[in-house]
Amino acid sequence: MLATMIHAARDVRAEERPDPVLLTPHDAVLRVVAACVCGSDLWPYRGVTPTKEPHPIGHELIGVVEEVGAEVTSAEPGDVVVVPFSLSCGRCQSCRAGYPSACDRVTGFGSTDREGHPVDGAQSERVRIPLAQHSLFPVGRPLADLEAAGLVPHLLTLSDVMSTGHHAAVSAGVGPGDTVAVVGDGAVGLCGVIAARRLGAERVVAFSRHPDRAALARELGATDVVAERGEEGVAALRELLGGDLADAALECVGTEESMAQALGSVRGGGRVGFVGVPHGGSQVPIGQLFRRNITVGGGMAPARAHMAELLPDVLSGAIRPGKVFDAEMPLADVAQAYAAMDERRATKVLLRP
Amino acid sequence: MLATMIHAARDVRAEERPDPVLLTPHDAVLRVVAACVCGSDLWPYRGVTPTKEPHPIGHELIGVVEEVGAEVTSAEPGDVVVVPFSLSCGRCQSCRAGYPSACDRVTGFGSTDREGHPVDGAQSERVRIPLAQHSLFPVGRPLADLEAAGLVPHLLTLSDVMSTGHHAAVSAGVGPGDTVAVVGDGAVGLCGVIAARRLGAERVVAFSRHPDRAALARELGATDVVAERGEEGVAALRELLGGDLADAALECVGTEESMAQALGSVRGGGRVGFVGVPHGGSQVPIGQLFRRNITVGGGMAPARAHMAELLPDVLSGAIRPGKVFDAEMPLADVAQAYAAMDERRATKVLLRP
């Protein structure tokens, strides 16, 4: 089968690999219908995260079940399933509490599972899914219907970006009437805009200096866009809000600057939901939290736990998070997909095997 | 009048000072019925916070209004009031949102108010209260009745410790059925135990290695006590909970070690409410928050905002937070009160002018 391997910085290849097979009774094998490239995939691509040896890459997918192990009863061959970007057992305390991304046995795509078997990447024609019983999320409709309705890209976002944007908003306690600032105009930030509106925010201010993304943010529900960043961004926000600040902010980048901007954007007692993977010195200045009574919550999104809430709104078209895909390419052209995102010619690229 | 001044490390004196008078139409002058010494007062006492020049000290009091300025209508002479440890305007965005401790005009005892006038300390016979309209919290009962019912010490805790313990629990999202770990067995931690139980926690585990405080923690509602600290404390907690961790933790100390213990005590998706004033390198390791989806909230307690919820339970005797006072001294002996707390001969000392 064709599968994406990263060999080194800026060296991503779609290449022939052995077809996956069931290795344990807890596995499933899927045929991938659509996958995509994540902003976090750009880190190894850019060399920010070193690639010590070649490995499969990609962690977002919607697929069709081809085969399940003897212990897997949650889905059967032919089912269309979305798979969250982190695989989980469903039984440990964190899973039971609704945080499968903090699962005791959490397993990532392109890594090694708890039995020591290599795990495929999602940017592939096929994948073996360990911990399949809890990790597969059946959509409940035939693929032909979903394709005909154009729902595949929207459903694919439940795998990561839409669930992550929702997690930022939930972690920031967004509720009816809130004013919410969104830091980051990438695919996650844009999904954060959708999520904040969906949870009842009255005013959603997107920080963006890219005209295309700002326009999309408005289309997805942002009521205002602020182009300034950092302290100037906070000052512009305060002016926009008549001297006030936001009730909540979504930190969808992961740098020290973006966290500072999110913390500076909220009033005393405000809440920051953070989902930007921390890097480059990202930190939480505890003195500021203390003086201003700011709550910081979030982290790696428990995508599997959020899917049940989000699925009906995707199926009904109430939310259309697939709009974050501004390019679609065949899996064979995966190297071009990475390059397009790296060079910011695309926000997020959907891949079709 | 007699008032407490700190001159330098370990040099606290009750000395004669001019009686306070109204300086603005927004002031009130109170006669102090009871004040007390806070754990945070020990920092300048111990020289951890340097004392550059002598200043009044103390920030917790219950008193009787003697005089109010022309703009103060929230209380009148003769009213018994509790005063929160931070004074606030009641009108800015943070105040309106219920976070007066993050008020734009927040003013502390023993400092300087926004008009440039010195502010008295609460460990005094009398005090001028700036921003009195919003800062005074009338108890609604005559002093003689409160004294006869022995309620004065319990009411006094609303000024700081009980409101702060409650804030830790609220910030940690404590609710019915939760298992809560409390880090810190000082007066705030003990009030955190009360607060967690009051909010419905089923199991409250107090970390304490002092037999007296452990016993008091149990009396106030702790279901379990763990003597170990740090990683050993977390391991002991996990053993106690059959392999699980707490849903929430209250960080009531303010050191790097106590924050690490609180973060380590909660399950994936757990919540840490922190009210320990950060010092000595206290920090929030964002990578741990991200991986484990831990929410951190809290800070300087909005005591004024919590009083209305807590007052009925104090008046009814449903909670008895005044139990944290294990010594009472005349104001004239304030130096002995500091020494007793510094040497851990007392948890918290109540002062009677």
Domain CATH code at residue B261: 3.40.50.720
CB contact under 8 Å between A102 and B268, yes or no, is yes
Position A157 scores a pLDDT of: 98
On chain B, the residues whose CB falls within 8 A of the CB of A264 are none
Residue closest to B275 by CA, chosen among B249, B250, B295: B250
Instruction: Report the C-alpha gap between A173 and A170 in whole angstroms.
Output: 5
On chain A, the residues whose CB falls within 8 A of the CB of B259 are 286
| Option in A267, A283, A295 nearest B93 (CB) | A267
Position B283 scores a pLDDT of: 66
On chain A, the residues whose CB falls within 8 A of the CB of B247 are 97
What percentage of chain A reaches a pLDDT higher than 70? Answer: 99
CB contact under 8 Å between B294 and A299, yes or no, is yes
Residue A316 sits in the same domain as residue A227: no
Position A279 scores a pLDDT of: 74
| Option in B99, B245, B297 nearest A93 (CB) | B245
pLDDT in tens, A65-84: 999 999 999 999 999 999 99
Helix-strand-coil split of chain A, %, nearest 5 = 35, 25, 40
Residue A7 sits in the same domain as residue A155: yes
Q: How far is A298 from chain B (nearest CA, A)?
A: 5
- Please give the average per-residue pLDDT across B228-253, as a whole number: 97
Residue B287 sits in the same domain as residue B306: no
Residue B156 sits in the same domain as residue B170: no
Residue B221 in tokens: 């509602």
Residue closest to B298 by CA, chosen among B225, B230, B248, B226: B248
CB contact under 8 Å between A268 and B171, yes or no, is no
Residue B22 sits in the same domain as residue B154: yes
On chain B, the residues whose CB falls within 8 A of the CB of A289 are 274, 284, 296-299
On chain A, the residues whose CB falls within 8 A of the CB of B284 are 283-284, 286, 289, 296
Q: Which residues of chain A have pLDDT under 50?
A: none
Residue B58 sits in the same domain as residue B121: yes
b/e for B269-289, b at 16 or more Cβ within 10 A?
bbbbbbbbbbbeebebbbeeb
pLDDT in tens, B67-107: 999 999 999 999 999 999 999 999 999 999 999 999 999 99
Q: Which residue of A has its CA nearest to B293?
A: A299
E strands present in A160-307: 179-183, 203-207, 224-226, 246-251, 266-274, 295-298
pLDDT in tens, A277-310: 887 656 688 888 999 999 999 999 999 999 999 9
* Cα distance from N-terminal residue to C-terminal residue, chain A: 10
Position A276 scores a pLDDT of: 85
Question: Are B49 and B169 contacting, i.e. CB atoms less than 8 angstroms apart?
Answer: no
Domain count, chain B: 2
Residue B6 sits in the same domain as residue B120: yes
Q: Enumerate the β-bridge partners of residue B35.
A: B61, B351
On chain A, the residues whose CB falls within 8 A of the CB of B101 are 268, 293
DSSP labels, A14-56: EEE-PPP---STT-EEEEEEEEE--GGGHHHHHTSS---S-EE
Query: Burial level of B89, CB count in 10 A (0-12/13-18/19+)?
Result: buried
For testing contact with chain B, the best of A89, A252, A295 (most B CBs within 10 A): A295
Q: How far is A293 from chain B (nearest CA, A)?
A: 5
Residue B57 sits in the same domain as residue B202: no
Position A310 scores a pLDDT of: 98
pLDDT in tens, A231-253: 999 999 999 999 999 999 999 99
CB contact under 8 Å between B268 and A94, yes or no, is yes
Domain stop point among B268, B298, B328: B298
Structural domain boundaries enclosing B121: 2-160+302-352
b/e for A51-60, b at 16 or more Cβ within 10 A?
beeebbbbbb
| Option in A259, A292, A302 nearest B293 (CB) | A302
| Option in A98, A289, A302 nearest B299 (CB) | A289
* Beta-sheet pairing, B295-298 with B266-274: parallel
For testing contact with chain A, the best of B255, B295, B306 (most A CBs within 10 A): B295
Read off the CATH number of the domain in which A151 is found: 3.90.180.10
CB contact under 8 Å between B274 and A290, yes or no, is yes
Residue B36 has pLDDT above 70, yes or no: yes
CB contact, 8 Å: A120 with chain B? Answer: no
Coil, strand, or helix at residue B1? coil
CB contact under 8 Å between B97 and A269, yes or no, is yes
- Please give the average per-residue pLDDT across B309-328, as a whole number: 98
Residue A188 sits in the same domain as residue A123: no
* Beta-sheet pairing, A28-36 with A61-68: antiparallel
